[in-house]
Each structure stands twice: as structure tokens, then as C-alpha cells.
Amino acid sequence: MSDAYGDRGNKDRSITKESKASMQPGPQHGEAHPAPGGPFLIGDTMTGGYGSGPDILHECTIAVDEGEIAVIVGPNGAGKSTAMKALFGMLDVRAGHVRLAGQDITELTPQDRVKQGMGFVPQTQNIFTSMTVEENLEMGAFIRTDDIRPTMEQVYDLFPILKEKRYQAAGELSGGQRQQVAVGRALMTRPKVLMLDEPTAGVSPIVMDELFDRIIEVARTGLPVLMVEQNARQALEIADKGYVLVQGRNAHTGTGKELLADPEVRQSFLGG
Amino acid sequence: MIDVLNAIVAFLNFVFIPAAAYGSQLALGALGVTLIYGILRFSNFAHGDTMSFGTMVVILFTWAFQSWGISLGPLPVALLALPLGIVITALMVLASDKVVYSYYRRVKAKPIVLVMASIGVMFVLNGVVRLIIGPSDQRFADGERFIINAREFKEWSGLAEGLALKTTQGITVVTAAIVVAILFWFLNRTRTGKSMRAYSDNEDLALLSGINPERVVMITWIIVAALATIAGTLYGLDKVFKPFTYFQLLLPIFAAAIVGGLGSPLGAIAGGFVIAFSEVMVTYAWKKVVTYLVPENLEPSGLLQLLSTDYKFAVSFAILVIVLLFRPTGLFRGKSV
């Protein structure tokens, strides 16, 4: 009762509309500085947590280079999604740096990072359900002022099913198709790096394989892809680089094959 | 046969035309409410008084124009004053957003807090309007009174029943149709309109796509101010302007928006007509129409009026309750704009 902005009476949907907004941008609101060298995108020894809460990441390093697929795996609660959110500026990064294409972007807001070329696909609610597939793609390209047709054609080439369903509301599509819309939307900004937060969450194994194929195709165009995955084995199979996080720390790092072959990784995360 | 025609004409004259005009006014009002609900995520209780404020500004300009001898011929001068009224009302709502609502958005207050804040804005506007123009009735319609005159219609058709179509009713329906067409074109075809729908659908993703929420909110307020001013002016032209009536209009307008499905523009329009037609039909004395249709010996002795017009608000509420019981999301499953 004492909380003036509390939740009392807030569940009545005939008076208020619930907001599913969950993204809390970090406190950053600065500028980018030149910082040449190093991988294309790197979160360098990042330490930080949400708001004024405790540190979740501890000197965690995640990097991805051009044409590569980097995968973050690890047990539940290891801070996989948190590491990605740190790269995207939705965390209070108290130590360490984030660099993208020779720029130190540690102090940028998430929106400014989108403008710098980061494409981010959230794990859930990653499409505009009430809008058509084509409108979803258009909204993805909102910050662009040039002709978006060619990019849209590229997305349709990559995901032919979307072209078929371009005038259908995205919310009516199946889980796998929705994920394609979500990835397509992120590609519309013509990002320099694509970040996917569990793209295969909640889709069937067949659809998952197809999605992975598409992600490989995207990476082959030279676009670096960084993703968080629950299905560690499949993800590491397609990964050029793998990061195993445990409790917010880098536990193992290596190529996908190395990690798959590592007995310790196999035993603890891949079920033998 | 003639009796059937007479019955149809009586129905058109006393039920259909008034309800269509009233429905258009409610639909425009409900569109404003539903847009705020969709994008700012709260029910704006100040909407009725925004309408009254807008209409007051239009009336003041109309009086000024009339005193300068400006006339639009058969059309009311108020149409000329309408754009000015919209501009001033837009400035007023943007100021109220700046002074009141923007703070609650910044502290991420729960939407219910915004609802309560809007009640405060409602009272303030209520007072401001009464201070400026007074609490009593104001008539400001001029120009031609009728498009179809009842007496001329009778002479022309030879029927016993007259059909009257007031200029204001014609203007109401035509204006509402134009405004709705423009609004839907804007929401579905333009980049800005689509960004409003995107923001209403998914705030997070809108941010990720580079849509600026404050800009979306500003455009929403401007559109809502325009809709409110137009709806209020049409209502005032058709009936009469009285601040308290506009405050009461909040009830049927909310009923319309909720019946249609809050957040759905199409629903707001459908809801407006559902509420208007039910109100008029339930409170109309059907004796005249029925007398034409039944044999003489079955002629009703009563008025065949289900409810007295004093109870018209009860009709809105009854429909509201029925819809919420059987289809809680409204006729058009409103969730987002």
C-alpha cells in the first residue's frame, strides 16, 4: 500500500494495457571512441550486473570475427543471455570494454549500438505479432532512409517462406517461421554483426536444424553471428568459436570441434 | 404497401439517421480513446473534456468569424474554425503530456497511475472550459438547416411520414467517414503510422528497431487531439454544446471502445455504432412504426418504448457488461493498434 507506483488495480485490462517491455537499458549514454585492432566484436573482460544488483558476469570475454559463428553455451543460469545483453548495452558493465569494428562502444545506449551496426534478436517477443511479415521487415529497417527493397529481397531469398506469407500477420505463423521473421527483421538494418539469443528455443528438432542451416547461410555472406544456445551439441557443431560459461565466467574457450572433443566439456555439459 | 413505406421512412427518420450521426460521433471519440490505450497503455478519462475543450475553442473562433461576417453558405462556419481548434487543442494536450504524463512515463509508473492522473487532468479541463465559456448551452450551428426537409419530402413523396436529414447530420457522417479513411491510411500505409502500431505491439522491439517512443507518443497526442476536436464539434453542431454533456459522453465513448475491443481502431468504430444504435433503439417509442405495420385491430395501446431516454446511459452499460461477460476482449479482439 505504501508503494505509490505499485501494482494495485493494475490488472484490469479494461482500463490499462499491460506492457510486456522487459528491456532495461544500462546506464550508458556516452559516445564511441576509436579503438583499433582486435576481433570484429569483442566484449573484453566484462564484469557487471543489472542495475545496482550484484555482478553476474566476472571478467567474461566473448568475441566474434568476420565470417564466423560464435556460440555461447553453458548450464542454466550461467549468464549466457546476460553476456549477450552486456554486449548490447543492457547491463551495467562496471569493468571491461565492448569494441565493435575498431570502435569502443562501451558507453553507447542499445539504440546507438543498433545504429553502429548491431543486429539483436531477443529470445522472446521478437516480432510484431499484429503486423504483417512485410511490415515487420519494414520496421526492422526503420532507421534506414535509403531504398530497403534490395535488402528485403535478400531476406526473402534467405527465407523463401516469408515471401509466401508476406501479407500475413506475423503472429499467425508457426514458431519456426516466427524466428525467421525475427532474424529477417534484424537483418533489415544491414547489421555488421548479428546477435541471436536462443534462436531455437521452443521449436521442434526439424525446424531447429533448418534454422541452423539458415544461420550458417547468413554467416557465409561474411556477417559475423553470435548466438546463445541451449542445444549445446548442435550449436557447437556449427560454431567456429565456442564459449562455455559457468557462473558468469569463461570456463572453456575454443573452436566448436575442440570443445566437442574436450572430455571435461563433454562430461559436464554435453551429457558424456 | 404505402404503410410499409411509411414505416420505413419513420424508422429512417427517427432511428436510423439520428443513430448513424450519433454513432459517427461516438466512433470518432472512441478512436481517440483506443489510440491512447494502445500506445500510452492507459484509459484516458480526460478524453470527454478534451472534446469539450476542443469544441470550446472551435466555438470561440466560430463566433469571431461570424462577427467578421464570414460565412460558408449552406455549411456551418464551425468547419472553418475546426483546423484552428485542432491546433490549439493539440498544443493543450501536448502541454498536459509534458506537465503530467511524461513524468509518469519516465519513472515507469504502472498504467493505473496514469489513469488516475488523467482523472486529474479531466477535472482541470472541466474547470477551465467552464471558466472560459460558462456551464450553459451554446449553439453555434449556422448555414442551411436541412439537406432534406420533412415537409418537402412529404410533398414530394406523398407519404404521411416526413423524412428530415439535418445538414449537421450529413456533415457528421461524411466528415467521420473522411477522418476514419485518413486515419486508417495513415496507420496502415505510412512509415510513421506503422511505427505507432509497432510501438503499440511491442515496445522493446520498437526500441531495437530505432523507433523513438517520445515521437510516437507526441504524434499520438496530436492525432487524438484532432479526433477529439472533430468529434466534439460534430456533436455540438448536431445537438448542443454543454460542458457537462461532454463529460457524460465519456461513458458511451468508453463503452464503445471496450465493446469494440480496446486498442482496435476498427473495433472503436463498430463499437460506436453498436452503442449508438442500441441507445436510440431501446429508448425510441416504436408505436408509430409498429402501427403502420400491424393490422388496425392489433394497434398497440402503449408507446412501445423499452426505456425512457433518461436511461440511455444504462443501455451503454448493459451492453458493456454483456460483451465483457461473453467476449472479454471485445468484438474485434483488441490488443494492439
Q: Could you say which of B115, B200, B207 has the minimum Cβ distance to residue A110?
A: B207
Residue of A142, A151, A178 to mutate for B, most B C-beta atoms under 10 A: A142
* A147 part of contact set with chain B, CB < 8 Å: no
The whole-number pLDDT of residue A10 equals 66
Q: Name which CATH class applies to B2-326.
A: mainly alpha
Residue (of A220, A245, A204) closest to A82 by Cα position: A245
Residue of A128, A145, A188 to mutate for B, most B C-beta atoms under 10 A: A128
Q: Of A85-94, B39-48, B174-183, which range is least confident?
A: A85-94
* A115 part of contact set with chain B, CB < 8 Å: yes
Give B141's contacts (C-beta < 8 A, 6+ positions apart): B76, B78, B167, B168, B237
Residue of A13, A90, A178 to mutate for B, most B C-beta atoms under 10 A: A13
Q: Could you say which of A10, A21, A131 has the minimum Cβ distance to residue B110?
A: A10
User: Is the pLDDT assigned to residue A268 strictly greater than 90?
Assistant: no
Query: pLDDT band at residue A225, thresholds of 50, 70 and 90?
Result: very high
The whole-number pLDDT of residue A1 equals 46
* A146 part of contact set with chain B, CB < 8 Å: no
The whole-number pLDDT of residue B117 equals 95
* B208 part of contact set with chain A, CB < 8 Å: yes
The residue-averaged pLDDT of B245-257 equals 93
The whole-number pLDDT of residue B253 equals 95
User: Which residue in B has a C-alpha nearest to residue A123's C-alpha?
Assistant: B205
Compare B229 and A39 and report the one with higher pLDDT. B229
Q: Of A12-26, B109-123, B171-185, which range is least confident?
A: A12-26
- Give how far the C-alpha of residue A235 lies from the chain's centroid of Cα atoms, to the nearest Å: 14
A127: chain B residues, CB-CB within 8 Å? 202, 205
B217: chain A residues, CB-CB within 8 Å? none
User: Which residue in A has a C-alpha nearest to residue B198's C-alpha?
Assistant: A128
The whole-number pLDDT of residue A109 equals 86
The whole-number pLDDT of residue B272 equals 96
Q: What is the ipTM of this complex?
A: 0.85
- What percent of chain A is modeled with pLDDT above 90? 51
For A249-255, the CB contacts below 8 A with 24+ separation are A249/A58, A249/A59, A249/A60, A250/A59, A250/A60, A250/A61, A251/A74, A253/A61
CATH number of A26-117+191-200+227-272: 3.40.50.300
Query: pLDDT band at residue A3, thresholds of 50, 70 and 90?
Result: low
Query: pLDDT band at residue B227, thresholds of 50, 70 and 90?
Result: very high
User: Is the pLDDT assigned to residue B320 strictly greater than 90?
Assistant: no
User: Is the pLDDT assigned to residue B239 strictly greater than 60?
Assistant: yes
pLDDT digit string (tens) for B118-138?
999 999 999 999 999 999 999
The residue-averaged pLDDT of B305-324 equals 87
pLDDT digit string (tens) for A56-112?
999 999 999 988 999 999 888 888 989 999 999 888 889 999 999 989 999 988 888
User: Which residue in A has a C-alpha nearest to residue B38's C-alpha?
Assistant: A17
Across the A:B interface, residue pairs with CB atoms under 8 Å apart total 117
User: Is the pLDDT assigned to residue B78 strictly greater than 90?
Assistant: yes
The Cα B93–Cα A152 span in angstroms is 38
The whole-number pLDDT of residue B334 equals 58
Output the nine-digit C-alpha cell for B50. Answer: 478534451
Inter-chain contact B202–A114, Cβ cutoff 8 Å?
A: no
Residue of A3, A15, A22, A137 to mutate for B, most B C-beta atoms under 10 A: A15
* B262 part of contact set with chain A, CB < 8 Å: yes
A17: chain B residues, CB-CB within 8 Å? 37-38, 41-42, 111, 262-263
Are B28 and B51 in contact by the 8 Å Cβ rule? The answer is no
Query: pLDDT band at residue A5, thresholds of 50, 70 and 90?
Result: low
The whole-number pLDDT of residue B112 equals 87
Query: pLDDT band at residue A226, thresholds of 50, 70 and 90?
Result: very high
The whole-number pLDDT of residue B222 equals 98
* A111 part of contact set with chain B, CB < 8 Å: yes
A9: chain B residues, CB-CB within 8 Å? 112
A12: chain B residues, CB-CB within 8 Å? 112
The whole-number pLDDT of residue B336 equals 41
* A142 part of contact set with chain B, CB < 8 Å: yes
> Nearest C-alpha of chain B: how many angstroms from A214?
22
pTM here? 0.89
Query: pLDDT band at residue A8, thresholds of 50, 70 and 90?
Result: low
Inter-chain contact A128–B258, Cβ cutoff 8 Å?
A: no
* B206 part of contact set with chain A, CB < 8 Å: yes
Are A52 and A117 in contact by the 8 Å Cβ rule? The answer is no
* Terminal-residue alpha carbon distance, chain A: 52
The whole-number pLDDT of residue B312 equals 85
pLDDT digit string (tens) for B273-309?
999 999 999 999 888 888 888 888 888 888 888 888 8
CA distances from B43 to B48, B66, B109, B314 (A): 12, 37, 14, 20
Q: Could you say which of B42, B210, B258 has the minimum Cβ distance to residue A16?
A: B42
Residues in chain B: 337
User: Which residue in A has a C-alpha nearest to residue B107's C-alpha?
Assistant: A5
User: Is the pLDDT assigned to residue B235 strictly greater than 90?
Assistant: yes
A13: chain B residues, CB-CB within 8 Å? 262, 328
Compare A242 and B332 and report the one with higher pLDDT. A242
Query: pLDDT band at residue A2, thresholds of 50, 70 and 90?
Result: low
The whole-number pLDDT of residue B72 equals 87
User: Which residue in B has a C-alpha nearest to residue A113's C-alpha?
Assistant: B208
Output the nine-digit C-alpha cell for A204. Answer: 521442434
Compare B119 and A201 and report the one with higher pLDDT. B119
The Cα B185–Cα B292 span in angstroms is 44
> Nearest C-alpha of chain B: how many angstroms from A225?
17
Whole-number average pLDDT of chain B: 92
The whole-number pLDDT of residue B303 equals 84
- What percent of chain B is modeled with pLDDT above 70? 99
User: Which residue in B has a C-alpha nearest to residue A185's C-alpha?
Assistant: B209
Domain assignments of chain A as residue spans, ordered by start: 26-117+191-200+227-272
B196: chain A residues, CB-CB within 8 Å? none
Inter-chain contact B210–A129, Cβ cutoff 8 Å?
A: no
